[in-house]
Structure 1
Amino acid sequence: MSYQFGLAYEFSSTEEHRAHYDKNAELYDEEFAQVKNYDYPARVAAVLKSVAVASDSPIADVGCGTGLVGRSLAQMTPEMIIDGLDLSPGMLRVAVSTGTYRAVHEVDLTQANPNLEGLFGSVISTGTFTLGHLGPSSLQHVIALGRPHALFVLAINQKHFLAENFAAEFNLLQDAGKIGPWEMLRVPIYSEPLPQEEERTGCVVVFRRHT
């Protein structure tokens, strides 16, 4: 069995995503991340490191998967506490085995998670806001995880960002006083892109929660 990259983009239900990632959890790092020189998690973690302060701990790694972002954060910001959040129990089992996380939480971010709201000083996400996954309507649930003035570093698939008009949603959130000014960065996805990789960069949106 090999990991079928891109298949998850086609799913429309939470149950399909959970089953797919549970099935492929043990294959993800070796057959996707390593083969494709997937450097995005480390680069997004570096963005957080560049703007975070000590009070931005603990960090919620949203859609933590196997722990690629968490491992990079642990190396770059060893003083920070990190929790992993993911839909897939299979992925969380792999993440736990890395020893990176204080705790892991099985969550569905298409809905509210009141037990985790307001607990985190910063929230990072890579690979969750993408085709077939979370859209702009889930931003409210992700933002709710942070306490007032929490830092957010959210990687968003470039095509998804444009197709779903994330910019309009961020502007609405800013106008409503829920978040401060937001900035979008372009970050390389692969350290050595393969010839067939059309999308070489991803969007990383950085902002702080207001209230």
Structure 2
Amino acid sequence: MTGKRRITVDDAYSLETPDDSVRLYADWADSYDTDFVSEQGYIYHQNVADLLVRKRADINGAVLDVGCGTGVVGVALQHGGFSVIDGIDISAQMLDKAKEKAGSDGIAVYRSLIQADLTKPLDIPNNQYAALISAGTFTHGHVGPEALDELWRVAAPGAVCVIGINAAHYESAGFGEKLAADAANGRITSPETVEVTIYSAAAGSSDHADDKASVVITQIV
């Protein structure tokens, strides 16, 4: 009898619909932290979290982890000193894993976890969050720039936004144009873009070992 085929990042990049995402991550949730984060040298979450941690003195309120998955970004934020973090994701199974995440003191990483499709209107009131963070959601087969309008809506004026976007997806999906338009229209400040690596040197033989992300840093006006 053969074992179950291991899910890879190529499977994730080839998704076409939100329903595809639901099915894939239902199957991947149990092994995601070990098979992908640990064994593939995935460090994207930490690199993006570090950028928000540097802004912690400017943030007074809750953080929304957009596409939180199993909660690895939330763990990094908690280690960095954040204590009020909500997570949102399309996958109930990934959210179940995020719910299990807790610090050494036993305090849960997430205050609240929300299951939602980021490509649709969110059932969240306006101006709720002092910061937004995302790593791994704005990428091939997942979410494009059309989701940003709802994120800007749920963030409060002055909110710090650190949004990681796969570098190739940033170019092909038109994120630059969307961000420039939003800045010109006074929705956000002129964005800064920082390039980070997605995988560590340990991922050397992977087809995606050299993948990069463009991390957008901006504030809600």
Tell me the TM-score range normalised by the shorter chain: over 0.9
- 1:83 is aligned to 2:86: yes
Give me the whole-angstrom Cα distance separating, in 1, the residues matched to 2:23 and 2:208: 26
Give the counterpart of 1:93 among 88, 92, 96. 96
Identify which of 147, 155, 161 aligns with 2:156: 147
What SS does the corresponding residue of 1:112 show, helix, strand or coil? coil
Q: Per-residue displacement from partner, 1:40-78 (whole Å, max 9, x unpaired)?
A: 101100000112325342100010000010000000124
Matched-pair contact (CA < 8 Å) for 2:198–2:212: yes
Structure-1 separation of matches of 2:111 and 2:180: 34
Pairwise mapping of residues 1-211 of structure 1 onto structure 2 (< 5 A)?
1=4, 2-53=6-57, 55-78=59-82, 80-98=83-101, 99-192=108-201, 193-195=203-205, 196-210=207-221
Once the two structures are TM-superposed, the CA of residue 112 in structure 1 deviates from its matched residue by 1.4
**What is the rounded CA distance, in whole Å, between the counterparts of 2:79 and 2:150 in structure 1?**
28
| Structure 2 gap ranges (5+) | 102-107
SS of aligned partner of 2:50: helix
**1:116 CA displacement:** 4.2
Runs of 4+ that moved beyond 6 A: none
Query: Are 1:174 and 1:181, in contact at CA under 8 Å, matched by a contact in 2?
Result: yes
- Choose 134-143 or 190-199, whichever is displaced more: 190-199
Give the aligned residue type for 1:41: H
Q: CA deviation at 1:188?
A: 1.7
Alpha-carbon RMSD across the aligned residues, in angstroms, is 1.4
User: What amino acid is aligned across from residue 188 of structure 1 in structure 2?
Assistant: T
Question: Aligned partners of 2:88 and 2:72: how far apart in 1?
Answer: 13
Deviations 1:129-151 (A, max 9, x none): 00011111111112222011111
The aligned amino acid for 2:48 is V
8 A contact 1:56–1:151 mirrored in 2: no
Count of residues in Structure 1 that have an aligned counterpart in Structure 2: 209
Q: 2:53 & 2:111 partners in 1: Cα distance?
A: 19
Measure how far apart 1:16 and its partner are.
1.1
Question: Does the 8 Å contact 1:52/1:151 carry over to 2?
Answer: no
Distance in 1 separating the partners of 2:68 and 2:215: 16
The TM-score, its normalising length taken from structure 2, stands at 0.90
- Give the TM-score, by structure 1 length: 0.94
Q: Secondary structure at the match of 1:53?
A: helix
- The share of aligned pairs that are identical, in percent, is 30
Report the AA paired with residue 174 of structure 1.
A
**Amino acid of the structure 1 residue aligned with 2:204:** L
Q: Which runs of 5+ in 1 are unaligned?
A: none
